[in-house]
Structure 1
Amino acid sequence: MFNAPVPEPERGHTSPVVIPVHDVNPTRRTPYVTYTLIAVNVVVFLLMPGLAGSVAGDGGLAQLCRLHAFLDHYAAVPQELIHARMPQLVPTGGTGVGPQGPGCVVGPPGYDKSPVLSVLSAMFLHGGWLHLLGNMLFLLIFGNNIEDRLGHVRFALFYLVCGYAATYGYALLNADSGEPLIGASGAIAGVLGAYLVLYPRARVWVLVPFLIFLPLRLPAWLVLGFWFVLQAVYSAGEGVSAAGSVAYAAHVAGFLVGMLLAWPLRPGTPPPPEPRGLLWGRRARHGW
């Protein structure tokens, strides 16, 4: 065994220029699947090893090594998905001092990893509080209406299909990458794509950072359309300095798949109500 640094995981979040707060689009049923997905994501995040280091960015080497060993086991890795190329050496979670200084100890993997199942586990892993909370905010605001339209079981399947499509779409474009890919944003991008197709005229209360946070009520087609354009621009290589380690191509793939899956339901989807008599995105007298 020898010591080596472990690279940062690829991840993605919604990275909004505007922050959605509430949509003016009531539902008929309780979104149990949406709430369950949020709860599971939060619980898994809290149980991730090396959490302090991943959140604060200044954790000790031992914490980071445990975190990277965990991600190597449970995150999706493009070269594993496309080429079934499993690594001979992986982080073990231990630390040591090698020729290049302190690092993580690596050795043969002590587990059997299924690349296909790693896509599922990676959808519930996040790299920090901002990564988690950004994703869960978008899922909470837009997921309830898609679940209401699809039903609980079909929404759960829809979410998983979009997540898998996003991950494999990114992997196809980065087939030789050995960086772990984590995050729910690919699946949530599919939810956003479906929302744009089914409820383009729904109003969304957003906070726009302009000296202060300005509250505005904007149509969903503008909010989500602008979000998608940004993801497409970044995935094409523009604004690389802002892209960082965010997997924008996964957002684009998930969004497009969500649109395609929702398109057949568009004719039978009732339009959202016209927003009259609103108080911060809610009807003042009608209880929603």
Structure 2
Amino acid sequence: MVLPIGDDNRDRKTTPIVNYLLIGLNIFVFIYWQRWGHDLRFTYSYATVPGEIITGHDIVTHSKTLIDPSTGQRVILPGLGVTPIPVFLTLFTSMFMHGGLLHLGGNMLFLYIFGDNVEDAMGHLQYLIFYLLCGMLAGLSHVFATYFLGQDLLTPSLGASGAISAVLAAYVRLFPGKRVYLWIFLFIVPVPAFIAVGLWFVFQVIDGLGMLGGDQTGGGVAYAAHIGGFLFGLLLTRMFARRYLARRG
């Protein structure tokens, strides 16, 4: 297992209040509105559904009854619910919802480790705009990849992963040599940021390519959002961190 557990923050000059607020909002939405992930009707109503984004119209489907092949237990899977907001806004709302505790915990760990330094370099408002813009662009990347690859347009997607991928891209662009501490089995190993983030991106590409011929009807990881968020993050970092890059020369 390879997991980042921290980085060198000795050069950080500001308190990352926006990053803390983003983490707090993600946790609040999961606990209060998603009911710890159990309120599937709410989740399916505010998640991004590729078919809705492409057509511009809300799509409502019936619930399905699935049978667990190992236990024989019947599980009711809610259909897509009524979206009380314009469907394009689900590109925003889906960024603050998660599929489970592990999904939430992993995303917030990465945001906590890497987001504070990016906010410090960009400034609070610039960082917030960067995060939200890249997150929605990452969602669009998933929508169009789903369409062009002929995958299920009615499978909802959610999570902060696309926006956090952009944060990782900005981090490696701004701090390529900063030490990141990785937990590798029983050891903690410091490595340069470009190696830690580079390995993460390579795994996203490999896993994404492996999913191209797979059946996506049951959901799965939106690798196109991860890759799209990372690429948009690389492209937009210079715009949002212009002052920091100018000072650094």
Please tell me the TM-score bracket, short chain as reference.
0.7 to 0.9
Residue equivalent to 2:236:
261
Q: Is the 8 A contact 1:69 1:90 kept in 2?
A: no
Partner residue of 1:162?
A: 134
TM-score, length-scaled by structure 2: 0.83
Report how far residue 48 of structure 1 moved.
3.6
Q: Select which of 13, 24, 28 maps to 1:43.
A: 28
Aligned equivalent of 1:251: 226
Which has the larger share of strand?
1
Secondary structure at the aligned position of 2:133 is classed as helix
Structure 2 regions of 5+ residues with no counterpart? 66-73
Question: Deviation per CA, 1:109-160, whole angstroms, max 9, x where unpaired?
Answer: 5554412211111111011111011101111111011101111101000000
Change (3 A) 1:126 1:88: closer
| Alpha carbons 1:189, 1:251 under 8 Å: kept | yes
Using the TM superposition, give the Cα deviation of residue 74 of structure 1 relative to its aligned residue in structure 2, in angstroms. Answer: 0.7
Cα RMSD (Å): 2.7
Query: Is the partner of 1:19 in helix, strand or coil?
Result: strand
CA contact (8 A) 1:205 1:217 kept: yes
In structure 1, list runs of 5 or more residues that go unmatched.
1-16, 55-62, 96-100, 272-288
Q: 2:160 aligns with which of 181, 184, 195?
A: 184
Match for residue 226 of structure 1 among 199, 208, 223: 199
Question: What does 1:49-198 align with in structure 2 at a 5 Å threshold?
Answer: 49=34, 51=36, 54=37, 67-91=39-63, 103=76, 112-175=84-147, 177-198=153-174
**Aligned positions, number:** 230
Of stretches 78-87 and 115-124 in structure 1, the one that deviates more from structure 2 is 78-87
Q: Counterpart of 1:43 in structure 2: which amino acid?
A: F
Code of the residue aligned with 2:169 in structure 1: it is G
Q: For each residue in 1:56-105, what CA deviation from the matched residue of structure 2 results, as whole angstroms up to 9, or x when unmatched?
A: xxxxxxx5xxx3311221111111111224324355xxx9xxxxx77357
SS at match of 2:210: coil
- Shift of residue 255 of structure 1? 0.5
1:207 pairs with one of 180, 183, 187: 183
Mapped partners of 1:206, 1:111: distance in 2: 41
Superimposed CA distance per residue, residues 226-254 of structure 1 (whole angstroms, 9 cap, x where no aligned partner): 1001101111226988x971111100000
Q: 2:5 aligns with which of 11, 14, 21?
A: 21
Cα 1:118–1:148, aligned 2, differ >3 Å: closer, same or farther?
A: same
Which of these two proteins has the greater Rg computed from alpha carbons?
1
Structure-2 change in CA distance of 1:22 and 1:104 (3 Å)? closer
Of Structure 1 and Structure 2, the greater helix share is in 2
CA contact (8 A) 1:72 1:90 kept: no
Q: State the identity %.
A: 38
CA contact (8 A) 1:78 1:180 kept: yes
Query: Residue 206 of structure 1 aligns to a residue in which SS?
Result: strand
